[in-house]
Structure 1
């Protein structure tokens, strides 16, 4: 046993048998190895700790920067949101104001339109009311005029009956008949006055040369006795001396031997009318139309006229002695043996007229037109 241990000791290397301070090299190595591990762990721990602290610090800085950026972003977003809110509020307020103004204007327009419509309706109602009143008044006037005409005819009929068919057989009857006639003519319209004249004519009270009823100064303006409005074309010997006959019509009638002396015939129409032996002496004739009329042996003695028209008229043997015929138109008229002695024919137009044997003694012919006048036929 002892030998084995000795042999063992003998086999241990030489360097392992040295000692230092009572410790062998192996002891030192084991000691150092046992010290290095904790030291390494400690150093590692310190390094890790520092690293973690650095990371934590960096993380805190990053978190803080991120928080600052987030805060700044939140502030920016908040400011932008407030600006947007303010803009939206301003836009909404402006929109509301516009809507309010438009609504106010619309209300005003509606109110104005309603007012206009109400005024129009009221005006129409007033017009209808006025038209109704005017229509009723017209009917009343028509009825009154009909009544006046009927009463007049009854009164005249009674006078005729009591005076053997004559209104001029005695002075009293003539004065009464004249007064009634003038009053009736003044109250009646033109259509009824035409009927009144026709009535007196057919009753033989306006017959020229048969002591006709004196209706001089009667206002017969606008009466229409043309052939289109009466039953008979012939009104021979009609006497309307001294009457006012402005704008009247006797067109296409036969008025031969009628008497219009001393009458006012302004704007009268005798178109295509037969006027043989008619007397217009001392009448005032302005713008009266005798176109295509037949006026043989008619008297226009001492007539005051202006712009009288005899276009295409037959004036054979008619007399214009001492008459004023300023701007008269005789274009294409037949004036054989017409007497213009002492007449004034200033600016008269005789273009294409036939003036065979016409008498022009002491006649004023200043600026008269005799173009293409025929003196031989």
Structure 2
């Protein structure tokens, strides 16, 4: 499938060949394939990357704030220290991605697949993970103040997280933390410890 904006996609490929940080703020790159490209330190805030193949891509310290990544394939991508605040990852595939100090504040990830993700010291604060699949995810000291529902999957998710978690059940929302949150996750196949809040 050809990208919607062929000229913009070719501009990205030309930059990849030359190297360096790329400024792609607001670009329409829908449908392109940038698998295994190195976007370290690049700017894609507000860009339309929906449906883009980014398998194995490198986004170290990249800024993707507010980007539309819905339906994108980020399998095995490196998102270390990347900023994805307020981005849209709905129905995206993030299988096996590596995250460390990755910021996902306010991200919308409805139905996203996070199979086997490795996340250390990241933040899913205010994230919408309803219907997302975190099977086999490994989280270590991750802020997990997210919105989930009965369709969110946690089988074999392990590690340590900070709550509280907001569970949506129809029109009601139940907020839970501590032991209650740990047991709720355990009942759904997760093996995580809920860490006490930081600070005094």
Paired position in structure 2 for 1:267: 81
The answer to whether the 8 Å contact 2:65/2:87 transfers is yes
The answer to whether the 8 Å contact 1:339/1:359 transfers is no
Residue in structure 2 matching 1:350, options 158, 163, 168: 163
Q: Secondary structure at the match of 1:355?
A: strand
C-alpha distance in 1, partners of 2:69/2:189? 31
User: Paired residues, what number?
Assistant: 174
C-alpha distance in 2, partners of 1:166/1:275? 21
Paired position in structure 2 for 1:336: 149
Paired position in structure 2 for 1:365: 192
Residue in structure 2 matching 1:185, options 6, 16, 21: 16
- Is 1:276 the counterpart of 2:103 in the alignment? no
Instruction: Assess, with a 3 A threshold, how the Cα gap between structure 1 residues 249 and 238 changes in structure 2: closer, same or farther.
Output: same
> After TM superposition, which residue ranges in structure 1, 4 or more long, deviate above 6 angstroms?
none
The answer to whether the 8 Å contact 1:186/1:219 transfers is no
Instruction: Assess, with a 3 A threshold, how the Cα gap between structure 1 residues 185 and 286 changes in structure 2: closer, same or farther.
Output: same
- Is 1:220 the counterpart of 2:51 in the alignment? no
Instruction: Assess, with a 3 A threshold, how the Cα gap between structure 1 residues 258 and 217 changes in structure 2: closer, same or farther.
Output: closer
Instruction: Assess, with a 3 A threshold, how the Cα gap between structure 1 residues 324 and 256 changes in structure 2: closer, same or farther.
Output: same
**Offset from partner CA, 1:41-71 (integer Å, 9 cap, x none):** xxxxxxxxxxxxxxxxxxxxxxxxxxxxxxx
The answer to whether the 8 Å contact 1:303/1:322 transfers is yes
C-alpha distance in 1, partners of 2:44/2:36? 19
Normalised by the length of structure 1, the TM-score is 0.42
C-alpha distance in 2, partners of 1:319/1:166? 29
C-alpha distance in 1, partners of 2:62/2:138? 22
C-alpha distance in 1, partners of 2:185/2:91? 19
Once the two structures are superposed, the pairs formed by residues 203-352 of structure 1 within 5 Å of their partners are: 204=31, 206=32, 213=33, 215-227=34-46, 233-331=47-145, 333-337=146-150, 338-346=152-160, 348-351=161-164
Higher strand proportion: 2
Q: Secondary structure at the match of 1:327?
A: strand
C-alpha distance in 1, partners of 2:54/2:36? 10
Q: Secondary structure at the match of 2:16?
A: helix
C-alpha distance in 1, partners of 2:67/2:35? 22
- The alpha-carbon deviation at position 254 of structure 1 amounts to 2.2
- The alpha-carbon deviation at position 362 of structure 1 amounts to 3.6
Structure 1 stretches lacking a partner, 5+ long: 1-164, 168-180, 207-212, 228-232, 372-377
C-alpha distance in 2, partners of 1:335/1:261? 22
Paired position in structure 2 for 1:13: none
- The alpha-carbon deviation at position 370 of structure 1 amounts to 7.6
The answer to whether the 8 Å contact 2:22/2:39 transfers is no
- The alpha-carbon deviation at position 369 of structure 1 amounts to 3.6
Alpha-carbon RMSD: 2.9
Larger radius of gyration: 1
Structure 2 stretches lacking a partner, 5+ long: 4-12, 170-183
Higher helix proportion: 1
- The alpha-carbon deviation at position 235 of structure 1 amounts to 2.8
**Offset from partner CA, 1:102-139 (integer Å, 9 cap, x none):** xxxxxxxxxxxxxxxxxxxxxxxxxxxxxxxxxxxxxx
C-alpha distance in 1, partners of 2:67/2:168? 28
The answer to whether the 8 Å contact 1:320/1:343 transfers is yes
